[in-house]
Each structure stands twice: as C-alpha cells, then as structure tokens.
Chain A
Amino acid sequence: MPFMSAYPTVRVSLLFLAIAIGCAFFADLSITAANPWKDLGNFFLGLVTPDFFSYQGLATALLRTVAFAFVGVALGSVFGFLLALAFKWTAVRVFCSVIRSVHELFWALIFLQFFGFHPLTGVLAIAIPYCGIFAKVYSEILDEVDPEPSRALPRGTGVVSSYLYARIPQCWEQIKTYTAYRLECGLRSSAVLGFVGLPTLGFYLESSFAQGLYSEAGAMLILFYLLIATIPLWLRRQTLPFYLAAAPFCLGDGFPIVWGNVSRFFTEDIIPAPLRQGDGWAGLADWFADIAVTEALPGIWNTLLLTQMALVLTGLITLLVFPLISRQFGNRPTRVGGHVFLVILRSTPEYMLAYILLQIWGPSMLPAVVALALHNGGIIGHLVGRQSSSIGLRPDAARGLSRYGFEIVPRVYRSFLALLFYRWEIIMRETAILGILGIHTLGFFVDSAIQNIQFDRALILIGVTALLNIGIDKLSRFIRGRLALQTLPTC
C-alpha cells in the first residue's frame, strides 16, 4: 500500500495491528472447555426462555443496583464538581488522576477489608473513582465555556457569583448530559460490584451461573438491559430529587463496620511485611524485588498483551458494527435492529461479559479479549455510526461496500481513531481488573494477595496498576496530539 502508508493515521493503525498480532503469539487464546458450544447454546436458550419468577430476590437485587449507582454517582459528581473548580492546581490534578486510575472493583476490594460488607464499601467504591473522572471532565467542559461574559462582569465580583452566572449556565446542559451518561456507567459498575460480594445484580448473576440456572441468569440480564434502555423514561427532572432522597435508604443494612478492623488495616495490614517483622531495609528491598519478579512484571506483561489485543479487536469490531446504525447503509428496520444490538453490547459490562464467556469457553485470554472488544466496540460503534449518519453525500455516491470503503470510512477514520485511543486507558483499567476472574493480569495478583491476607502486597500491586494506567493515558494523549486527533469528553 504505497499510497495509504503516506497517512500518519494509517501508519499508526498498521503499527498497532502488527503489535497486536505479535501479542497473539505470546498469549494463551485456547478454548479449554469440553463443550464450549453446547454451553453457549444453553446460555442463549436461557436468554430466550427467561424465568422472571424463580428467584424472589431479583427485585431487591435490581433495587440495590440502582441505589448504589445513585448514591455513588451523586457523591462522585458533587465532589468531582468541587474538585473541578480547583483543577488548575497540580496537586488536585494528580490526586484526581490517581483516584480514577484505580478501578471501582479494586476500591471495593480495599474497602471490603476494613468496612466489610457495609453499604459504605459499595458507595465509596463507585464515588471515589467517579469523583476523579467527573473532576477532569467537568473542568474540561468549564474550560471550553465562552470567557467573554466573565470578562464583562463588574470588578470585584466573587468567584462563586462569577461561576454561578457567567460560567455554569453556559455549560449546564452539557454537564447534565454527561452526568446522566455517567449514571448509566454507574449502573453497570454497581451491577459488577456484586461479583465481589456486594448485594447487587452481579452477585445473583454469579450464583445463577454457578448453578447452571441459565433461565434465571437470562432474566437478570434482560431486566438489566431494560433498566438501562428505559433510563430516559424514568429519569426525569421531576423524579430525580425523589430518587436521590430515596436511594440512601435502599442500600440495605449489610454488616456493621468493625472499627477495630479499620484501625488494624491502616496501622498493621498495609505496612510492608519486612517492616512489620523487623527485617529492616535489606528485607524490604528483597520483598520489593520478590513482588516485582514474581507478580508485578508478569502481571504487567499479561495486562499489556491483553490490552493491545483487545484495543485492536475493539477497532475491528467498531468498523464492522458502525454501519449497522448508520443512515448511509441499510433501511429503517435494519437500523433499529442495529441499535438494539449495539445497546446490548454496550450495556453489558465487560466484566460480566468476560465472566459469561469464561464460564462457557474455559479460562484463557480469549474470553477477556472478546468481552472487552465487544463492549468497547459497541460504544465506539454507536458514536461513529451516529457521526457517519450526519455526513452529506453527493446524490450519485457509490453504494454498499464501495460507499463504505471510499466515502464513509475515510471521513470518520480520524474521529474513530481518536475515540479508540481515548478508550485505550479505559480498556487497560478493565483488563487489569479481569484478572480477578483468573486471567493472569495485574488484578489476578491483587486478588490472590488479598485472598492470602497480604494487603501490603495488594496495595503495592494496585499502585503499580494505577501507574500503568497513568502511563497509558499519557502515551495516548501524546499519540492523539501527534496525529492532531480531537475527542469530546462524553465517551
């Protein structure tokens, strides 16, 4: 391709493709289950024969899922907004990037150690990382506001009044849209928290799967899709205050906090073992070396392998699925079908999808790659498809595959790449966490350390994961900057 390779975007794409193919040689992508297709068939059978009445706790599980999402996202958005106002300070920016680089499930695993199964664990696990994300996005939105009105204010106007009148009204709609979008993400996060034992949907889904009750699991998934798809119907300006007031009372009681555990966690559990046992600095160095060689490095290696493969497969799936909803292709019924398909892809949390595929195909990197690619491909495919619909083509433009290749893809390719690189960091955060399911990424080693009651090790590994995320975020920014790619914060 002597002509295409002249484009930097194409060269970068080919480089990433080559890296992903290279990664595939090192990764374990086998299907180990004895009857993978039979199990997959049973699962789909369960989806089409959902059993809504076998389990009485279903309504409670849904209620808890919604309640945790509301309280967590509300707290995150309030504190995120306050931090956004102070975002010009480096300390605040670093703080926010650290708290958002640690995944909700890792926060949950940390809080479980000292708050136990108290509602606070789930609420904080959502609120803290969301706060970091809100702070960043809100500050970006506020920065893009037209500065003229605040310049025209009379001298001596206070900061609060100036924000209230000259800045916030200008971006209020955007803030609302983004917060509502985040609430949808919060519902997914809340559902997934069940996988570590909180009383949300994931908990019941896992137990249904473990018992092979596919119709029960199918019912849960269908209800979850309905819940997300109907957000515009039940989330209204008039009903929001009611939900916010009611949510804290719907979290359930859990178990009371044992304060002795809290103080022990901070004064003993997280102190590195050699220091606790009086082995001195030499012992500490050995301890660090041991973590690095046996856990951190293999974890980083596997996380990177999986991330790069998932990133490229996400891109390929995006390019395959976006025409399903684009006005440039098909007709009305096919586009409606496409929308339903993409809603299902993006509403299924990747963790849940990976769990399902892992149950069906057996443990390897394959279920994780496919789950990450399907979920993220669904999200980016939706955005790219929507953008491609607004392209005005000349009346005699080519149709079908030629239209796809010559007219549409070249026009959307830059924003497609921008979105893909924007989600790179998100894919990596998710990749690390999938380790909890048994794939040897960083999350696997964090989870094992916690199982072995080695919280000092777990915290070090969570810190390594956070640094890796921040590094990928920087690299992604650098590449987007070099290729002059721009994204909107709402993706």
Chain B
Amino acid sequence: MSVIELSNLSASFGGRRVLGPLSLTVADGERVALVGRSGAGKSTLLKLAWQQCGSDIALVPQDLGLVPALPVFHNVYMGRLNQRSSWYNALSLVRPFKKDRAEVCEVLQALAISDKQWVPLASLSGGQRQRVAIGRAIYQGASALIADEPVSALDGPMANRVMELLSERFRSALIALHDVDLALRYCNRIVGISDGVIALDEPSNRLSTADILPLY
C-alpha cells in the first residue's frame, strides 16, 4: 500500500521546466528524506505531492502556514479543524474546551514549548514558530507527514529531539532535509533531487554521508 504516489510528474515556472518528469512512490511505513541543493526542486515536489495525496496526511510547509494573529493554542488546534463541526470550532475560538486544551498541551510539552500555549504567535522566535507548525501537524493525528525543512531553525539537540518525535508519531513521511546526518539517522530511504530529477534513491542503511555529498 502506498501513501504518496506520483507518476510522470513535471512542473514549469515561467516557461522553464523546474521539475520532472519524475515518478515517486512512498509506501506505508517508509520515511523518505528528500535531499539536494537549494533550488533543485524539492519544495515544488512537496507542494505537488501534497496536492495529490489523500486526506490522512499532515503538512509542515516551508513558510509554516501559521496565523500570526492567533495564540499558539489555536495554531495547533487548527490541525483538527476537519474533525469538528463548525460550531465547535467557532466556540473553541472564543473559549477552548478543556479536553482540547489538555491534548494540545501534551503536544506542546513534547516539543518543549508548553509554556507558550497562550502567547500570541507574533512574539515567538523562528525556532519556536517552527515547533508550533510541527505541533499542528502532530495534533492532526494523521499517519503520514509531508514536511519541508521542518527543523531548519532548530539547534542540534532540539533538531534531533523533534526528528525523533516525528518518527514516533508518523508511520510514513516525505521530508525535505538539508542536514544529511539527520536524514540518514531518522529516515529509512533517501531520495536525492538534482536539477528537478531523481539522482539518487537508496535505503539509508546502504548509504553514508560521503555518498550524498556529491549532490550538493
């Protein structure tokens, strides 16, 4: 069974082909790291993958897609908007329910930002915002994840902790990562993109850092 299935995908921007044609399938249980130089087409690939995949999947886009005017709680709560009625959501906007508060708090604790639950997003640092967007994806409770550089603004130990958490909470994933060590450690398959096409596709346990570096 596959979670993401892309066949003969291509994309052009301003008349110039930036991606493809390429085909990529992510099977259930596979955690795929997308590696490659910036501008290689990783973000475009992730955007198209998100447009074509099913509903049981969470997204952490590169620009995070957070709402600066709302507090952290609501930004995380947004992960389950589709599971509640409009009335429930409208009420939660004014006064969140206790059960949801506890659940969101649990996610934020795992990300070490539970003290920021009621802080307006605008006052958070870049790394904290990134963790809020990850919190939203985790809170959604989907089995698969599409993420574009989800830990780029986090320091080493925190990046490891968050990647660890993502592997616990999502059975399958397609994650763009520029940190090759993180990719090898937390993903079981590496796909290298170069000039818009797949230049490398191997299980992580058959690769070392040196095998990937030529892509950069």
Measured in the bound complex, the distance between the Cα atoms of B79 and A119 in whole Å is 47
Across the interface, A148 reaches (CB within 8 A) one of B54, B63, B84, namely B63
Across the interface, name the chain A residue whose C-beta is closest to B55.
Answer: A155
Once the chains are docked, how many angstroms separate the CA of A160 from the CA of B57?
Answer: 21
Q: Which residue of A lies closest to B71 (CB)?
A: A169
Q: Does chain A have a CB within 8 A of B204?
A: no
User: How far is A166 from B66 in the complex, measured between Cα atoms in Å?
Assistant: 8
- The interface size of chain B toward A, counting residues with CB under 8 Å, comes to 33
Chain B residue at minimal CB-CB distance from A151: B65
- Cβ of A165 within 8 Å of any chain B Cβ, yes or no, is yes
Complex Cα distance, B189 from A79, in Å, reads: 54
| Segment touching A, from B20-28, B37-45, B85-93 | B85-93
- Check: A172 CB closer than 8 A to any chain B CB: yes
Interface SS, B side: mixed
Q: Find chain B residues with CB under 8 A from A149 CB.
A: 65-67, 78
User: In the assembled complex, which residues on chain A have CB atoms less than 8 Å from the CB atom of B135?
Assistant: none
Does A153 lie within 8 Å of B61, measured CB to CB? no
Cα–Cα, bound, A169→B93 (Å): 10
The binding surface of chain A is classed by DSSP as helix
B142 within 8 A of A: yes
Instruction: Answer whether A154 and B90 are a contact pair too, CB < 8 Å, given A148-B61, A170-B69, A173-B69.
Output: no
Q: Is the CB of B63 within 8 A of A165?
A: no
Contacts of B85 in A (CB 8 A): 158
Nearest-neighbour CB distance to chain B for A112, whole angstroms, equals 39
Beta-carbon contact of B67 and A154 below 8 Å: no
- A166-B68 Cα distance, complex, nearest whole Å: 10
A156 interface contact, C-beta 8 A: yes
Residues of chain A within 8 A (CB-CB) of B105 are none
Determine if A153 and B78 form an interchain contact, defined as CB atoms under 8 angstroms apart.
yes
User: Would you list which residues of chain A between 135 and 172 have a CB under 8 Å from chain B?
Assistant: 148-149, 151-158, 160-162, 164-166, 169-170, 172
In this assembly, does B112 line the interface, its C-beta being within 8 Å of a C-beta of chain A? no
**A172: B residues at CB distance < 8 A:** 69
How far apart sit A116 and B78, CA to CA, in the bound complex (Å)? 50
Q: Which listed residue (A151, A160, A173) contacts B89, Cβ 8 A? A: A160
Given A152-B60, A154-B79: 6 more A-B contacts, CB < 8 Å: A148-B63, A148-B64, A152-B64, A160-B90, A161-B90, A165-B93
Shortest distance between the CB of B80 and any CB in chain A (Å): 7
Contact present for A161 and B55 (CB under 8 Å): no
- Given known contacts A160-B90, A164-B89, A164-B90, A152 and B82 CB-to-CB distance under 8 angstroms: no
Some 29 contacts from A to B, beta carbons below 8 A apart, are A148-B65, A149-B66, A149-B78, A151-B61, A151-B65, A152-B60, A152-B65, A152-B136, A154-B82, A154-B83, A154-B140, A155-B82, A158-B81, A158-B82, A158-B85, A158-B86, A158-B89, A160-B86, A161-B89, A161-B90, A162-B81, A164-B86, A165-B77, A166-B67, A166-B78, A169-B69, A170-B67, A170-B68, A173-B69
